[in-house]
Amino acid sequence: MKGRMIVLDHVQGLEAAAYLVDGQLDDLLVDDTDAPRPGAIYRAICDRPIKGQGGMMMRLPEGGTAFLRQGRGLSPGQAMLVQVTGYSEDGKAVPVTDRVLFKSRYAIVTPGKPGLNISRQITDEDARDDLRAVAHEVHDDTYGLILRSSCEGADEAEIADDILAMQDMARAVLDDAEGKQPEALTEGDGPHTVAWREWTGAAEVITDAGSFEHLGVLDQINALDGAKVTMGEGTMYVEPTRAMVAVDVNTGNDTSPGAALKANLAACRALPRALRLRGLGGQVSVDFVSMSKGHRKQVEQSLRASFKNDPIETSLVGWTPMGLFELQRKRERLPLAALLKDI
């Protein structure tokens, strides 16, 4: 099964989307109807400041709570628009930002930040000029506008329609910003919409019911239930705990002089996918196979290259005195552990 394929289906009644590369599961999105989706916009009410952190606890509808990291200058009882940035851990408030964006396949509308920007990934000057012309036809200067890299080669009418749709949504939400009670103004995008928005490369799209089972996607999801990740060069174990995600790299049966470096480099290549498919974020600590300090730089460069194209924001913190490598990863996905128990 060669090529790239996007499969839209359901798992245990939950909306899901799978991205396959040559038949191998490369990305997976699964919905959760109980948690606010990243991207959802609320009119929230400031509740109480968090001393020492500069943040503000906020009230959401139906007794929900949110945490705004930069909350200086706000007063309890004040209403404001916030957008969910990720999933919260059990017992913690939903993380939100006051920098509300309206994001679609081709366009991002940015209220409060006027101007037109075009993705730097589009380097052809003629293409950039054509996109500027499309934008100037429909762009409302009241809002800022970012044209995404997916605009390159896309139909100009579709780009214009996308810009207009996002501006209309921004207008409707901002008009409803005033009020004394918390309210959900948008629900955020589900997996099928996110797949359309983010997986923009050429791919076959399958929407038939039962496709996950017929194409072997369910079997690959089941394989994620275990901690072991087979890499070809050694093995890696990815195990989430409440405090952090622990990653252990081993050489396996390879006892050759270069086994440690080979296993560590293989782990660097495999780690983004392993974390992405399992929906793991937060603090990640990697225990690489013992190696010389001279090889550490090579491993770190490989890690940076591997995470460069990963869709989830990840900060490579660095080496600890004990020789572990630490990462901090945004919690954009829900862990699959609970779902895998039922499949």
Q: Which one-letter DSSP state was computed for residue 341?
A: T
Residue 63 region, left (φ>0) first, then alpha (ψ -120 to 50), else beta? Answer: left
Give the tokens for residue 250. 């081993």
**Nearest one of 150, 204, 158, 141 to 1, comparing CA atoms:** 204
pTM passes above 0.95? no
Which alpha helices (H) appear in the chain, and where do they start and end? Answer: 125-138, 156-175, 191-198, 211-214, 217-223, 259-278, 293-308, 337-340
Query: Mind listing the pLDDT tens digit for each residue in 220-271?
Result: 998 898 899 988 888 999 999 988 999 999 997 777 878 999 999 999 999 9
Q: Is residue 326 helix, strand or coil?
A: strand
**Taking residues 265-286, what's their average pLDDT?**
95
**What whole-number distance in Å separates Cα of residue 303 and Cα of residue 296?**
10
Spatial distance between the Cα atoms of 298 and 266, rounded to a whole number of angstroms: 12
Q: Which residues contact 148 (CB under 8 A, 6 or more apart)?
A: 105, 106, 107, 108, 119
Domains of the chain: 1-31+190-223 (no CATH), 41-97 (2.40.50.140), 102-189 (3.30.230), 224-340 (3.40.630)
What are the pLDDT digits (tens) for 55-111?
999 999 999 999 998 877 888 999 999 999 998 877 789 999 999 999 999 999 999
Mean pLDDT of the chain: 92
Check pLDDT > 80 for residue 337: no
Tell me how far apart the alpha carbons of residues 273 and 90 are, in angstroms, rounded to a whole number: 24
CB 69 within 8 A of CB 133: no
Check if the beta carbon of residue 80 is closer than 8 Å to that of residue 44. Answer: yes
Whether pLDDT at 52 is above 80: no
Band (339; pLDDT cuts 50, 70, 90): low
Kindly tell me the burial class for residue 305, based on how many C-beta atoms sit within 10 Å of its own C-beta (0-12, 13-18, 19 or more). Answer: exposed
Q: Give tens-digit pLDDT for 134-191.
A: 999 999 999 999 999 999 999 999 999 999 999 999 999 999 988 889 999 999 999 9
pLDDT confidence band for 343 (50 / 70 / 90): low
